[in-house]
Amino acid sequence: MPRLRLCRCVERTPKVACFKPRGVPMHELEQAVLSVEGLEAIRLADVEGLTMEKAAQRMRVSRHTFGRILNEGRRIVADALIHGRALCIEGGTYKVTAAAGDAAAFKERDMKRIAVSSEGPGLDSMVDPRFGRAGGFVLVDSETMAVEYLDNGDSQVMPQGAGISSAEKLANAGVEVILSGYIGPKAFEALTAAGIKICQDMDGMTVGEAVERFKSGAAPFSLAPNK
């Protein structure tokens, strides 16, 4: 029986999936296919300049496996450049994880008490892009997906300080991480002071989709308010 290949952890998916020589139609070109984990290995080693050991830790593989992925990725890129092939980035055996370099970031993904700024009371409600003036927050147990609803209507009519007031409500409710669209500087500071982790730019999806995105590691923790 062949050995099961474990998923390699990547911190981002490619922004561009294909590169080709200028002036040559795609249908006339041979393709060189680079896996997503191959691209990640090249990024960590050649863009971030990490050592083999640190890069392997980031991908959650052995140093030997990382070296093999990196060498194969470099070979495919060189082949495309030298022989004028289209370079396509697709496939592989990987999962998207938190953009972090140590195991602590992965442990944080086990946070149980999640709040999502919401336009309604359930998992099918849309994420409210506003934090401070959101209509309410859906509180989700990440293990059971049980939900509660925390009304935030009073903050909507506050002339100022809505973000800080909302942050205090979440802190009192024992929330560990907030998923929202936009969080202003004062609210961000209040949430951080309360020990609440923050994921921004989560608008345009349902509450349930936002939670699943967070649990998969595809939503990085924010280090500053979004602009």
Q: What is the DSSP string of 162-191?
A: HHHHHHHHHHHTT--EEE-SB--HHHHHHH
pLDDT-derived band at 98, boundaries 50, 70, 90: low
- Would residue 208 count as lying in a domain? yes
- Residue 75 falls within a domain, yes or no? yes
Residue 199 resides in a domain? yes
121 shares a domain with 77: no
Which one of 42, 75, 97 terminates a domain? 97
CA-only gyration radius of the chain, Å: 21
**Predicted pLDDT of residue 1:** 39
Position 111 scores a pLDDT of 67
- For residue 224, the model assigns a pLDDT of 84
**Same domain, yes or no: 122 and 84:** no
CATH number of 167's domain: 3.30.420.130
Count of domains in the chain? 2
Q: Which domain holds residue 87?
A: 8-97
Query: The tokens 């984990």 sit on which residue?
Result: 37
Q: Which residues contact 34 (CB under 8 A, 6 or more apart)?
A: 73, 76, 77, 80, 87, 88, 89, 90
Last residue of a domain, one of 38, 62, 97: 97
Q: Does residue 17 carry a pLDDT above 80? A: yes
Whether 116 and 63 share a structural domain? no
Say whether pLDDT at 101 is over 60.
no
pLDDT of the residue at 94? 82
CATH classification of the domain holding 92: 1.10.10
Q: Are residues 163 and 77 in the same domain?
A: no
Say if 1 falls within a structural domain.
no
Average pLDDT value over all residues in the chain: 87
**Residue 53 sits in the same domain as residue 113:** no
- Give the tokens for residue 59: 């991908």
pLDDT attached to residue 110: 54
Q: Are residues 125 and 181 in the same domain?
A: yes
Are 113 and 148 found together in one domain? yes
Chain centroid, CA 220 distance in Å: 4
pLDDT class of 227 with cuts at 50, 70, 90: low
The C-alpha angle with vertex 121 and arms to 174 and 205, in degrees rounded to 5, equals 95
Express each pLDDT in 45-77 by its tens digit. 999 999 998 998 888 888 899 999 999 999 999
Last residue of a domain, one of 97, 125, 148: 97
Token representation of residue 142: 């990440």
Average pLDDT over residues 153-166: 89
Residue 225 pLDDT: 85
- Kindly state whether residues 112 and 86 are assigned to the same domain: no
H/E element, 151? strand 147-151
The verdict on 204 and 140 lying in the same domain is yes
Distance CA 95, CA 102 (A): 16
